C-alpha cells in the first residue's frame, strides 16, 4: 500500500466516523480489500494470518449496505443495522488475540430476519408497524447460540410482513416497516418471501451468512430465487423460542449462505437443545458438525429419486431443462437416478391451511403476551392495522389475520383432524417414496424464475414449487443453485426424511462441487 493511498483510506474512514459516530470501532481502520463472495473458511484464514480483522470485515459489510442497499440499486434488504456491531467485532478480535477463535463463526457477521428476538438496541417487528419499537427482553435461543459461537450480529433483514401470513394479495418482500425488498438479479423482480431480506443480503454480499425462517418455503424459495444455498432443517433441530411464529407444527429458522459449507457452518452454530421448545428432546442426543466430512465423492453410489409431480411440474420447459442438466450431473458424479418418482399429496394443502390459521392465532397470542410487545394479541394487531390502514395496508389487506382470529382453540376437532391429516399425507409421501425405491433423497426444482413485483395483484409466480412436502412433514430439505434462465437463478432441492439433514448437506455439497457454478449479482460494486 502506498503512503498516499493509506492516508486517503484513513481520511475516508474519518469522514465516515464523523457521519456515523455510533458505528465506529475502538480504532480507525483502512479497508482496501474486496471481501464479496469470500467464504467463511477464507475469511478465517485471513484473520488467523492477521491480514483481516472482524472490525475490518464488519466495516466492509456496513459500507456495502450503505452503498448498494440504502443507496445505488437500493436493494432495501436491511431494516436496521446493529449499532453495536463494530464494538462486538472489536471484542472478538481482542479475544482472538488472547485465546484464539471459538470456532469457525468467530468474528463472522450474520444478518437475522426481523422476526427473531435480539435483546439489544435493534427491534423485532416481523415487519409490522404494529410492533414498532418492540425490543424483547431476551435473545431468541438461536441468537444466544450464535453469540456463543462468536458471530457478529450485524443487522435485521426485511421480510414479508408477518412472514407472508397477512393476505392472499401480498407482495413477497414487502413490509410496512421496511417497504419492498428488490431482487439483486433484476430490481424489477421479486425476491420471494418471507425471508427475502436475509436471502438478498447474502446474495449481494452484504453479510457473510444470514438466518431466515420458514413455515412453507420461506427459506428455500428466496434462496433459490436469489441464487444461494438455504437449509430447511428437520423440525426442532433449531429452537423456535424467541421467534415471532406462524405455526409451531411447521416453523423453523434456517441458515442461508453462498455455499453449502457456509450454510452448514452456520447451521452447526444454530442447533441445540432448548428446554423452552417442546421439540427440544425429540432429536438425537448428539448432533454432528454439519460442515465436517464434506466430500465431492458423496454422490457416488447414492440413489436419488426425481420427484416429478411437484407443484407446477412441466409448466416451464426452461426449468425442466435445468432439472435434466442436474440429473446428468448427478449421474456423472456416480449417483443412481430413479425417474420418475410420484408422490401422493392430495388433500395436503387444504389441510395445511386449516392448521396454519388455527396455530397462528394461538402461537402469536402466546408470543405477544410473553415478549413485552406493545400489543398483546392478534385482535389488537387487527385493530391497529385498521386504524393505520394508510401506512400498514396501502397495497393489500389482512384477510388472513381476520380468518385466523375467527378460529377457536387448538382443542377443536377441525384443527386436530387437519393436523393429523396434513402430517400423515406429507410424511407418508416422502417416507413411502424413499422406502419403495430405496432412495437417499428426492430432488425437484425449488421454484421457478423470479416474477415481476406487483403491488396491485400481489405475487404472480409461475406456480412451480416443491417445498410443501418437507415443510408440512417437518422433514429436512436443502436448495442449491442449479442453473439460471436469462440470468435469473434456479435452485434444485434435495428432500429427505426426518434427521436426514447431514446426509442432504453432503449430497448437496457434492453436487455443488461438480455442477453449476453460482453467478453473483453486483460483483465489484
Residue spans of the domains in the chain: they are 10-514
Which of the residues are catalytic? Answer: 113, 194, 218
pLDDT, position 351: 98
Compute the mean pLDDT over every residue in the chain, rounded to the nearest whole number: 93
Please determine, for residue 7, whether its predicted confidence score (pLDDT) is greater than 60.
Answer: no
Give the residue, 523 or 261, on which the prediction is more confident: 261
CB 454 within 8 A of CB 427: no
Mean pLDDT of 78-106: 98
Local confidence band at 21 (pLDDT 50, 70, 90 cut-offs): very low
Rounded-to-integer distance, Cα 311 and Cα 391, Å = 34
**Grid coordinates given for 3:** 503512503
Residue 194: cis peptide before it, omega within 30 degrees of 0: yes
pLDDT, position 14: 35
pLDDT tens sequence across 36-78: 999 999 999 999 999 999 999 999 999 999 999 999 999 999 9
Mean pLDDT of 411-431: 98
Rounded-to-integer distance, Cα 16 and Cα 512, Å = 39
**Grid coordinates given for 163:** 412472514
Three-state secondary structure call for residue 120: coil
H or E, element range at 254: strand 252-257
Mean pLDDT of 395-424: 98
pLDDT, position 32: 60
313: left (phi over 0), alpha (psi -120 to 50) or beta: beta
**Least confident among 12-16, 150-154, 276-280, 467-471:** 12-16
pLDDT tens sequence across 312-355: 999 999 999 999 999 999 999 999 999 999 999 999 999 999 99
Mean pLDDT of 197-210: 98
Rounded to two decimals, what is the model's pTM?
Answer: 0.94
Please determine, for residue 117, whether its predicted confidence score (pLDDT) is greater than 50.
Answer: yes
Mean pLDDT of 256-260: 98
Please determine, for residue 164, whether its predicted confidence score (pLDDT) is greater than 90.
Answer: yes
pLDDT, position 331: 98
Kindly give, in sequence order, each residue whose CB lies less than 8 Å from that of residue 274, ignoring residues fewer than 6 positions away.
141, 239, 241, 280
Find out if CATH 3.10.129.10 is the number for domain 10-514.
no
Amino acid at each position: 500500500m502506498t503512503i498516499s493511498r493509506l492516508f486517503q483510506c484513513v481520511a475516508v474512514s474519518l469522514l465516515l466516523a464523523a457521519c456515523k459516530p455510533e458505528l465506529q470501532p475502538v480504532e480507525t481502520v483502512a479497508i482496501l480489500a474486496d471481501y464479496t463472495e469470500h467464504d467463511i473458511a477464507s475469511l478465517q484464514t485471513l484473520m488467523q494470518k492477521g491480514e483481516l480483522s472482524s472490525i475490518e470485515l464488519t466495516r466492509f459489510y456496513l459500507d456495502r449496505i450503505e452503498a448498494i442497499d440504502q443507496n445505488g440499486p437500493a436493494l432495501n434488504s436491511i431494516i436496521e443495522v446493529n449499532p453495536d456491531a463494530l464494538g462486538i467485532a472489536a471484542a472478538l478480535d481482542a479475544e482472538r488475540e488472547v485465546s484464539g477463535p471459538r470456532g469457525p463463526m468467530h468474528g463472522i457477521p450474520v444478518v437475522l430476519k426481523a422476526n427473531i428476538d435480539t435483546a439489544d438496541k435493534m427491534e423485532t417487528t416481523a415487519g409490522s408497524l404494529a410492533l414498532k419499537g418492540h425490543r424483547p427482553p431476551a435473545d431468541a435461543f438461536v441468537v444466544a447460540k450464535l453469540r456463543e459461537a462468536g458471530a457478529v450480529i450485524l443487522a435485521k433483514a426485511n421480510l414479508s410482513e408477518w412472514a407472508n401470513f397477512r393476505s392472499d394479495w401480498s407482495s413477497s418482500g414487502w413490509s410496512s416497516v421496511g417497504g419492498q425488498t428488490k431482487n439483486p438479479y433484476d430490481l424489477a423482480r421479486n425476491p420471494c418471501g418471507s425471508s427475502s431480506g436475509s436471502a438478498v443480503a447474502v446474495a449481494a454480499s452484504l453479510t457473510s451468512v444470514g438466518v431466515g425462517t420458514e413455515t412453507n418455503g420461506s427459506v428455500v424459495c428466496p434462496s433459490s430465487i436469489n441464487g444461494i444455498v438455504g437449509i430447511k432443517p428437520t423440525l426442532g433441530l433449531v429452537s423456535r423460542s424467541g421467534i415471532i411464529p406462524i405455526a409451531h407444527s411447521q416453523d423453523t429458522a434456517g441458515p442461508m449462505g453462498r455455499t453449502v459449507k457456509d450454510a452448514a457452518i452456520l447451521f452447526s452454530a444454530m442447533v441445540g437443545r432448548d428446554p423452552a421448545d417442546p421439540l427440544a428432546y425429540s432429536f438425537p442426543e448428539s448432533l454432528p458438525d454439519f460442515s465436517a466430512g464434506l466430500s465431492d465423492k458423496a454422490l457416488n453410489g447414492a440413489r436419488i429419486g426425481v420427484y416429478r409431480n411437484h407443484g407446477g411440474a412441466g409448466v416451464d420447459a426452461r426449468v425442466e431443462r435445468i432439472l435434466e442438466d442436474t440429473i446428468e450431473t448427478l449421474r456423472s458424479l456416480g449417483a443412481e437416478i430413479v425417474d420418475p418418482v410420484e408422490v401422493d399429496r392430495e388433500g395436503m394443502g387444504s389441510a395445511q391451511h386449516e392448521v396454519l390459521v388455527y396455530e397462528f392465532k394461538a402461537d402469536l397470542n402466546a408470543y405477544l403476551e410473553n415478549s413485552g410487545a406493545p400489543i398483546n394479541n392478534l385482535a389488537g394487531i387487527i385493530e391497529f392495522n385498521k386504524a393505520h390502514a394508510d401506512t400498514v395496508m396501502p397495497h393489500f389487506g389482512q384477510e388472513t389475520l381476520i380468518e385466523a382470529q375467527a378460529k377457536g382453540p387448538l382443542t377443536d376437532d377441525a384443527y386436530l383432524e387437519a393436523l393429523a391429516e396434513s402430517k400423515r399425507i406429507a410424511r407418508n409421501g416422502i417416507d413411502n417414496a424413499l422406502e419403495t425405491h430405496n432412495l437417499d433423497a428426492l430432488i425437484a426444482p425449488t421454484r421457478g424464475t423470479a416474477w415481476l413485483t406487483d403491488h396491485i395483484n400481489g405475487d404472480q409466480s409461475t406456480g412451480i414449487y416443491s417445498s410443501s412436502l418437507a415443510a408440512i412433514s417437518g422433514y429436512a430439505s436443502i436448495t442449491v443453485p442449479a442453473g439460471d434462465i436469462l440470468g435469473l437463478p434456479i435452485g434444485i432441492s434435495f428432500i429427505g426424511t426426518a434427521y436426514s439433514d447431514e446426509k442432504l448437506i453432503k449430497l448437496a455439497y457434492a453436487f455443488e462441487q461438480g455442477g453449476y457454478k453460482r453467478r453473483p449479482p453486483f460483483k465489484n460494486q
